[in-house]
Amino acid sequence: MEITEHIKYLAAEGQLLAGTAERAGTGAAVATCPKWRVRDLLRHTGMVHRWATAFVTEGHPSYHPAEGEPDLDGAELLGWFREGHGRLVSALTEAPDSLACWAFLPAPSPRAFWARRQAHETAVHRADAQSALGAVVPDMAPEFAADGIDELLCGMHSREKSRVRTPKAAVLRVRATDTADVWTVHLSDRAPRTVRTDGGDADCELSGTAAELYLALWNRLPLEAVTVSGDEGVALLWRETSAVTWS
């Protein structure tokens, strides 16, 4: 996807997150993150938005810590979130393609990295806000959802910090039925290795629409939301070890 498309989705998902959080109320429980209330979701995501904006606008060449979460609630917190989200969208829109700053996943450029990462960061947390209203809906555009699956499998879980490990090697295949995208994830006692191929045997296959798979792989929908074929233990391994945490 192009940078402009990622920025478009970042803008839309952030607006949806804020609107959904406002309808739910900041004291509502977030079903997908049992320890959180909506206020925690807004504080966290707003903090991440400001953290990302600092790299884009200040050009930090190495890791730079976030400023922390505010002690805000209610309408004041929603206003703070919307302001920070808007600043991030503007910063990425106005940044030159030659932007040089720190990034933690391979990408064509730092601007491309931050636009993609923040679009999916926001989309996943928009699903969290939905859960506070009672249901997570797999309503993302197929091409955006497939892009997010690719970032998760080929990017986030290619890092050494991934906890998806198993002493017995296994192969997990992920098949998006609406976009025809296929990922083959090789699991072992090392970080997962994902290739974009349909070849070879797989111990387990997850299939469904790109949006269903996106949310299931991010543990925002239950495994029952997609079709699981083969060894369900491999799917459960993913469910139990794949959580991405802020640290």
Averaged pLDDT for residues 100-108: 97
Local confidence band at 245 (pLDDT 50, 70, 90 cut-offs): confident
**119 with 231, same domain?**
no
Domain assignment present for residue 220? The answer is: yes
CB contact at 8 A, 85 and 14:
yes
The amino acid at residue 137 is: V
Nearest partner of 119 among 240, 16, 202, 233, judged by Cα: 16
Local confidence band at 247 (pLDDT 50, 70, 90 cut-offs): low
Give percent above pLDDT 70 in the chain: 100
**87 with 186, same domain?**
no
**96 with 182, same domain?**
no
> How high does pLDDT run on average in the chain?
97
CB contact at 8 A, 102 and 86:
no
Local confidence band at 178 (pLDDT 50, 70, 90 cut-offs): very high
**233 with 118, same domain?**
no
From 95, 110, 131, the end of a domain falls on: 131
- Give the pairing of strands 170-176 and 204-208: parallel
Domain assignment present for residue 159? The answer is: yes
| Local structure of 54: helix, strand or coil | helix
Which tokens hold the place of 183?
């990922």
Domain assignment present for residue 124? The answer is: yes
pLDDT at 10: 98
**63 with 151, same domain?**
no
CA 86 and chain centroid, separation:
19
* Residue corresponding to tokens 């083969």: 230
**8 with 127, same domain?**
yes
Domain assignment present for residue 24? The answer is: yes
Find the DSSP H helices in the chain: 3-24, 38-58, 74-94, 110-131, 142-150, 210-217, 232-241
| Local structure of 141: helix, strand or coil | coil
**66 with 39, same domain?**
yes
Averaged pLDDT for residues 218-243: 97
Averaged pLDDT for residues 115-136: 97
Averaged pLDDT for residues 38-61: 98
User: Per-residue pLDDT for 20 more than 90?
Assistant: yes
Domain assignment present for residue 136? The answer is: no
From 90, 110, 131, the end of a domain falls on: 131
**93 with 162, same domain?**
no
Averaged pLDDT for residues 18-41: 97
Look up the CATH number of the domain holding residue 146: 3.30.1050.10
Averaged pLDDT for residues 159-179: 97
Domain assignment present for residue 247? The answer is: no
The DSSP element (H or E) to which 72 belongs, if any, is none
Domain assignment present for residue 36? The answer is: yes
Domain assignment present for residue 246? The answer is: no
Which tokens hold the place of 9?
């989705």
**85 with 58, same domain?**
yes
- Cα–Cα distance, 155 to 135 (Å, whole number): 28
CB contact at 8 A, 53 and 87:
yes
Local confidence band at 199 (pLDDT 50, 70, 90 cut-offs): confident
Look up the CATH number of the domain holding residue 21: 1.20.120
User: Per-residue pLDDT for 65 more than 70?
Assistant: yes
From 107, 131, 155, the end of a domain falls on: 131
User: Per-residue pLDDT for 81 more than 70?
Assistant: yes
- Domain range for 165: 142-241
pLDDT at 246: 76
**126 with 234, same domain?**
no
pTM of the shown model: 0.97
**96 with 195, same domain?**
no
**120 with 176, same domain?**
no
The DSSP element (H or E) to which 158 belongs, if any, is none
Q: How far apart are the first and last CA of the chain?
A: 27
Local confidence band at 200 (pLDDT 50, 70, 90 cut-offs): confident
pLDDT at 233: 97
CB contact at 8 A, 235 and 206:
yes
Which tokens hold the place of 244?
């991405």
Provide the number of structural domains found in the chain.
2
